[in-house]
């Protein structure tokens, strides 16, 4: 499975729709996308993970790295996630305390 990334501006933030699998092979693509946006001066991001089918530790590392990157510019990175299997990963790793996780894009913005 590949990783699909689509970015759009909405409500003063940039929403990145993520679809597919975020694993050791595809995570660099997400890392590069976040880095490119930050390099372009975009510091308030929303990652819509509702179409993500798989997330491994490499993917989690990219999410945490992205959060650190935007925070160095006083930015924010929020997640949209309703899938229980992904939410469970965030709970087990304690990342629910690190990320703002929302049920939909509207509430994340």
What's the pLDDT score for residue 33?
98
The percent of residues in the chain predicted with pLDDT above 70, rounded, is 99
> Does the residue 38 lie in any domain?
yes
Q: What total number of domains does the chain contain?
A: 1
> Does the residue 93 lie in any domain?
yes
Closest CA to 25 of 2, 51, 50: 2
What DSSP character marks residue 1?
-
Token readout for 102 is 């929302």
> Does the residue 108 lie in any domain?
no
CATH of the domain at 19: 3.30.750.24
Residue for token pair 């996308």? 33
Structural domain of residue 80, as residue ranges?
3-102
pLDDT band at 77 (very low <50, low <70, confident <90, very high): very high
Task: Quote the pTM value.
Answer: 0.94
Is residue 105 within a helix (H) or strand (E), and if so which, with residue range?
Answer: helix 105-108
> Does the residue 80 lie in any domain?
yes
> Does the residue 109 lie in any domain?
no
């Amino acid at each position: 499975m590949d990783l699909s990334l689509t970015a759009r501006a909405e409500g003063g933030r940039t929403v990145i729709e993520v679809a597919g699998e975020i694993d050791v092979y595809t995570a660099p693509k997400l890392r590069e996308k976040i880095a490119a946006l930050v390099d372009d001066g975009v510091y308030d991001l929303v990652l819509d993970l509702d179409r993500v089918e798989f997330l491994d530790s490499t993917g989690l590392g990219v999410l945490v790295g992205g959060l650190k990157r935007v925070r160095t510019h006083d930015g924010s990175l929020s997640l949209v996630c309703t899938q229980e299997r992904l939410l469970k990963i965030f709970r087990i790793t304690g990342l629910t305390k690190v990320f703002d996780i929302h049920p939909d894009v509207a509430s994340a913005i």
